[in-house]
Chain A
Amino acid sequence: MLHGALLGSPHAHARIKSYDVSAARAAPGVHCVLTGEDFGDHRMGAFIKDEHAIAKGKVRYVGEPVAAVAAETEAQARAAARLVEVEYEELPAVLTPEEALAPGAALVHAELASYFKVFEAVCGGNVCSRTELAEGDVEQGFRESDLVVEGRYRTQPQAHVSLEPCGALAEVDAAGRVTLWSANQSVFRVQANVCESLGLPMSRLRCLTPRVGAGFGNKMEAHVQPIVVKLALATGRPVKLVLSREEDFEIVRARHPFDLRVRTGVKRDGTFVAREVEVLLDGGAYADDSPGVLGYSLLMARGPYRIPHARCRGTLVYTNKLRFGAFRGFGNPQVSFATETQIDEIAAQLGIDPVEIRRKNALGADDRWFGGQALASNGLRECIDVAERESGWPARGAIRAAPGKRRAMGFACTAHIGGLLGTGAIVRMLEDGTVVLNTGAVDIGQGSDTVLTQIVAEALRLPLEQVSVASPDTDGSPYNWGTTASRVTYTTGRAVLAAAREVERQAKAHAAEMLECAEADLELLPGGVVGVKGVPGKTLPFVAISARAHWRKGGPIVGTHTWVFDQPTVDPKRAVAVGLPFPQIGVYSFGALAVEVEVDETTGKVAVLRAWTVADVGRAINRAAVEGQLEGAFAQGLGFALAEELVFDGPRLVNPTLMDYKVPTSLEVPYALHAHIVEHAEPDGPFGAKGVGEIGINVVAAAIANAVAAATGARLRELPLTAERVLGGLLQREAEAG
């Protein structure tokens, strides 16, 4: 096996004039050196096909791979990559959305108009996508309002920091067909991205997934897979490339920084009337999932509330920075930081309790989401009740802090959608009556293998150990868009349940003939047995049924089901949508969060002491896994709220290490972290289940900011809430108080 290594661009924006790879090719152990000249003009991209497998013609961000080497050892490959000489002609770089939108700005993608796009993108210049969603008459709404509060908010880029860095291993067989193992969230997105960017037919590439060390969105779209496949094709040898932690920070993707302007109009009694939102997103050098993040953030910008008049607009801009893309929450944490802290400002100005104002305006059973979609299940009000009760919110006035400290509580509400795109399941009964489930869904640590196994076992009344899960494989698994967007339990779970029901139907058809009775008289009994209802002892084990199917009559028992969520998100009779890239997203989960924080008056440091995170997940198929999602999302949100930030010095990322980029440790995340599950069954969800993967992160920053404001009087509108910012807010409040 050979090892791969990359050379990154030193420039944010430059034309590549020439390469000299002679020294690298002559270096010890080197088998192959590739540059953009070795790659055809093929582009990939989930929404806009704007990205080559490796920089070709020009570079668009610092660190962008410009050359790749395969050598006998990783050390030789890395040493040789440094010997590749590239002659650049530097171009002016645009490093912020403002610079990119300025008249005469250098274009990140001069050929944008010619790129293939999978949706009706409103784009041009450095604008990658513009999206608008509106309901009602927002001007009229503000005229009807007694109070209008507005603010500008900023959020920072956050890194995913999956503990396992991105990596891939490719092998070419004698016929030239490639097998690719990689860390990913979807073998099918890997297959699509590699084949699009290399110009390969999809049937020539088989994609597999070993155990994955988490994803959070980082591994949903391509990372090094296309380059590794190209190295394997070029050398005819297996090639493995695993990114260093620094490279993983510098060249994969991160959470979008948002610049938001939010205006909300309300009646004196706290009734919400109008909301206007304008967001500006730095998309970085390539579109990646950004148009989706923009559209989704706008769809979330009205929050889980009745606001009859709303207009939300956004602009996504190309810059010469690392691409920003999918990250747990998908734009929701950013808009929720603005909208959920603004609600607290409104409550304070009106003298209404922050929980009361939310409850008063919360979407009820008969209300629709922004855009017009009906809500088949809605446990929002129960989530609010549980968070209020469990946290002791009404008694929070009694909280006392030690001298030099201040303590207070904060609250926020959220919702999230899960159910996007196609999925399938194959449930096979083996000769011995045990069952194998194959879905192509990658378990990235959230526990879907367990949950999907439970669904099969429950449906077929089998013990868990008689059901196994096949590893995702593009050759043998039915299509699965991916482990992303809070979707696997709901979408794949539905497919799995339907496929298991088909197995039951086939097993009963056999049993009816074997027992000479009607199928309707049969039932599944525990332990893999079909029996005649009401006739004890008249039973058949699965092994007997499966043996007949395999060897004598009917053929092996295989249940399959595929489906795609097809309910429209926007009802054109109720709302106007322009440039929204998702027409059909899914079903709604709801949540509420209460936190208690302590602020140090001397340093401004914020500690989260206790938290109560509540979510309506329809039905918790595996409670421990649901709690794990809510607790983990809280911890990741705590990092986003208080400390995590990718810091750029000009075009260069200055903190691409875990020493300089701090993720929360066991000391920062409170042990008093309480996850509470609310269950309002989704009528068509498997056993009533709906998504939980993202919802727990959405309002962590908002709730903490609300608690900090309650403790200090300082309303901070920029993340993260570093000690410096909080202390600045405290000192300013003291100065204002005289």
Chain B
Amino acid sequence: MSTPYPLALQVNGAEHRLEAALGDTLLTVLRDALALTGAKRGCNQGVCGACTVLADGEPVRACLTLAHECAGREIVTIEGAAGRAQALQEAFVETGAVQCGFCSPGMILTAAAMLERTPRPSADEVRAGLSGNLCRCSGYRKIVDAVLRAAETGAP
């Protein structure tokens, strides 16, 4: 499991050629090999959602995803936020939805994928859509409001 094998990863629009063991998770490779530390290791068990990134537009738990599974997929992290994700970042700031910020990258990318499917969600749809991402600082209210605000603004 610890023998390194070559891996080509598409991350934030750029191709990275690196070596990763078969057991290395996408989160480990993003953080340690590519220095993209926006995805956070909150639980490493796929529960908290702080490591969420997009793979071909779908939110995935980077801590549960093996790096080699991602060959040929387009990975987007918060560092590559554009379009909806960027509008969400701005809405998070304007709404006061960022407290410690540890959950924010995962929240924003999860919300970006949700808005792609449901561009004008209700508050309850947003609550359901974000229920796999834990936040311990807020009461979620401002996060939900930020997503609703970004939905109103639409993608730039």
Contact = CB atoms under 8 A, between A and B. Distances in A.
B155 to A, nearest CB: 23
B48 A658 contact: yes
A636 interface: yes
A214 B42 CA distance: 12
Nearest to A633: B139
A400 to B, nearest CB: 21
Contacts of A671: 123-124, 127, 140-141, 144
Contact of A212 (B95, B100, B130): B100
Contacts of A212: 100
A632 B133 CA distance: 15
B128 interface: yes
Given A163-B50, A632-B137, A671-B144, A666 B2 contact: no
Interface in B87-119: 95-96, 99-103
B144 A666 contact: yes
Nearest to B144: A671
Interface in A203-233: 211-214, 216
Contact of A666 (B101, B131, B137): B131
A211 B144 CA distance: 24
Nearest to B94: A624
Nearest to A161: B136
Contact of A163 (B42, B95, B127): B42
Contacts of B127: 666-667, 671
Given A663-B134, A671-B144, A245 B102 contact: no
A632 B138 contact: yes
A38 to B, nearest CB: 29
Interface in B122-156: 123-124, 126-128, 130-144
A628 B142 contact: yes
Contact of A665 (B42, B123, B131): B131
A391 interface: no
Interface in A629-659: 630-632, 634-636, 657-659
A90 B42 CA distance: 35
A212 B103 CA distance: 12
Interface string A598-637: 0000000000000000000000000011011011101110
Interface class of chain A by DSSP: loop
A255 to B, nearest CB: 14
A673 B127 CA distance: 13
A373 interface: no
B139 A245 contact: no
Contact of A446 (B50, B99, B103, B134): B99
A541 B13 CA distance: 46
Contacts of B47: 657-659
A446 B137 CA distance: 8
Given A245-B45, A666-B143, A658 B123 contact: no
Nearest to A630: B139
Interface residues of A, number: 39
Given A244-B44, A659-B45, A631 B101 contact: no
A624 B102 contact: no
A162 B102 CA distance: 9
Contacts of B138: 628, 631-632, 635
Interface string A453-483: 0000000000000000000000000000000
B61 interface: no
Contact of B142 (A164, A214, A624, A636): A624
B137 A627 contact: no
Contacts of B131: 665-667
Given A163-B134, A666-B144, A445 B100 contact: yes
Contacts of B130: 665-666
Nearest to A613: B139
A635 B131 CA distance: 14
Contacts of A669: 139-141
Contact of A445 (B2, B44, B137): B137
A444 interface: yes
A165 interface: yes
A164 B139 contact: no
Interface in A133-166: 160-165
A609 B143 CA distance: 18
Contacts of A214: 99-100, 102, 136-137
Contacts of A578: none
A163 B105 CA distance: 13
Nearest to A242: B41
Contacts of A118: none
B34 interface: no
Interface string A664-678: 011101010100000
Contacts of A631: 138-142
A165 B48 CA distance: 12
Interface in A232-273: 242, 244-245
Contact of A657 (B40, B45, B50): B45
Contact of A628 (B50, B99, B132): B99
Contact of B45 (A628, A636, A658): A658
B140 A666 contact: yes
Contacts of B126: 666
B43 interface: yes
B27 to A, nearest CB: 13
B140 A245 contact: no
A701 B65 CA distance: 38
A364 interface: no
A602 B9 CA distance: 51
A708 B47 CA distance: 30
Interface string B30-52: 00000000001111110110100
A663 B43 CA distance: 13
Given A657-B45, A671-B124, 5 more contacts: A161-B134, A211-B101, A445-B102, A635-B138, A635-B140
Sorted from nearest, which 3 A-B pairs have the closest CB atoms?
A445-B100, A631-B139, A624-B96
19 contacts: A162-B136, A163-B48, A163-B100, A164-B40, A164-B42, A213-B100, A244-B44, A447-B99, A628-B142, A632-B136, A635-B139, A636-B136, A658-B134, A665-B132, A666-B130, A666-B135, A667-B127, A667-B128, A671-B141
